[in-house]
Amino acid sequence: MDITSGLEQTFQDGKIYRHVNALIVAHLRDSNFNQAASAVASATMTPLNVEFPPNKLLELVAKGLAVEKDEMLRGVSSTTLFDSSVPSAYGSVPAPRVVSMDFSAVHDVKGASKSFSKHETRHISEHKNVARCARFSPDGRFLATGSADTSIKLFELSKVKQMMLPDQRDGAPVRPVIQTFYDHLQPINDLDFHPHNTILISGAKDRTIKFFDFSKAVARKAFKIIQDTHNVRSVSFHPSGEFLLAGTDHPIAHLYDVNTFQCYLSANVQETSNGAINQVRYSSTGGIFVTASKDGAVRLWDGVTSQCVRSILSAHGTAEATSAIFTKDQKYVLSSGKDSMVNLWELGTGRLVKQYPGATHTQLRSQAVFSETEEFVLSIDELSNEIVIWDALTAEKVARWPSNHVGSPRWLEHSPVEASFVTSGTDRSIRFWKEA
């Protein structure tokens, strides 16, 4: 029995070593370190043409570091950064219905566009002033909104859905807002959830990034604060949870270590005269990040060195670039700007791949987003006060829906795991939309 167990363990260890070697070879080859890839392949008897999804090794390392961090933090005193009674299920992201879309193939056949499912919508809450931003948690269980009234509302999505059931209209009222945070002095610009812990961060005009622990029901104030030197326009957690980026009025993103709060700035970057960053977002593995700037440019940055690796100047002409997000496969970036255009860019070449026209946005810092499957692109038309939806592959408009807001929504954010999204606006209201 002991001999058999030992043999099984030896075989299992060998399988793991072969898998690790294959990941290393694929990573080196795909990163154009061909000589190093050949040397490792030869030394480990690994096929040089071994195939893995792009950045698979980086993704596994990021996940491993996050698990290691989580294990280290268990049982730590309440004064440390990430101490919280974290629900065991938080951060476990359900598998999406489609991993990613292949935008490199030709999809210009007429009549090939998909239809966007009907959604029902409901007003779920409102702030006392303009609702400026919204964000879903990575597991899709929570939603946070930030306002010019300096408050943050936290929603539990199961309660929002319960609130929308027909048999709830005449029953006891369901309260989907589970917490409200008050700790900023000026309007809130952006929010993000920690990928593995019940931590919500906010960036605001008061030049601060604040950390809120939403596992503590009575907490109303931040338990940690980063004091930046500029208006914080956008925030984004690294997928490991170890770092965060702040896009500010400064033309270079500020990288913070969330444990030490030390700030790192990229050197050797030419500053533009009007390069304030409207939005910053990490890719799914954290190997690269993107900034959308007031000077109209979309810039790509190395996630390790923070060096600018590509600048798409005049991505939106002379108008501001207001948003930029990666596709799941990290090969493309979707951007929107105050030139009323939504564009899809190829990272490797900086080439404009697709345009999604027909939605006017010239005033608000609105954004364009993908549906959870990346089959559709959604944005706002300010003039008609409508939500516009395109087939992501054919770029054909497939729906225009009244927003039901009084005045155009300021923000639209889609759930990362299901067919639902949220809009918030100058009318102070929050509306939730879900597949009917």
- Structure confidence by residue, pLDDT tens digits, 195-254: 989 999 999 999 999 999 998 877 789 999 999 999 999 999 999 999 999 999 999 999
pLDDT digits (tens, 9 = 90+) for 325-335: 999 999 999 99
CATH at 237: 2.130.10.10
Give residue 338's pLDDT.
96
Paired sense of beta strands 254-257 and 429-435, if any: unpaired
Average pLDDT over the chain, rounded to an integer: 85
| pLDDT of res. 13 | 53
Q: How many domains does the chain fold into?
A: 2
Same domain, 142 and 7: no
Do residue 275 and residue 364 come from a single domain?
Answer: yes
Q: What is the pLDDT of residues 64-77, one digit of tens each?
A: 766 665 555 444 33
Per the structure, the complete domain to which residue 171 belongs is given by 119-435
At residue 4, the pLDDT reads 45
Radius of gyration of the chain (CA): 22
Choose among 233, 246, 345, 251: nearest CA to 295. 251
CB 340, CB 354: distance < 8 Å: no
pLDDT at 11 exceeding the cut of 70: no
Q: Is residue 374 part of a domain?
A: yes
Domain stops at, among 52, 68, 93: 52
Per-residue pLDDT at 53: 81
Average pLDDT over residues 71-93: 48
Do 15 and 135 fall within a single domain?
Answer: no
- Burial of 186: CB neighbours in 10 Å, binned 0-12, 13-18, 19+: middle
Q: Look at residue 298 and tell me if it is in a domain.
A: yes
Q: Is the pLDDT of residue 109 over 60?
A: no
* pLDDT value of position 111: 59
Same-domain status, 48 and 125: no
pTM, to two decimals: 0.78
What secondary structure does DSSP assign to 247-304, as a single string? EESSSSPEEEETTT--EE--SS-PPPTT--EEEEEE-SSSSEEEEEETTS-EEEEETT
Residue 28 falls inside a structural domain: yes
- At residue 18 the predicted structure's pLDDT band, cuts being 50, 70 and 90, is confident
Instruction: Give residue-wise pLDDT tens across range 297-355.
Output: 999 999 888 889 999 999 999 999 999 999 999 999 999 999 999 999 999 899 999 99
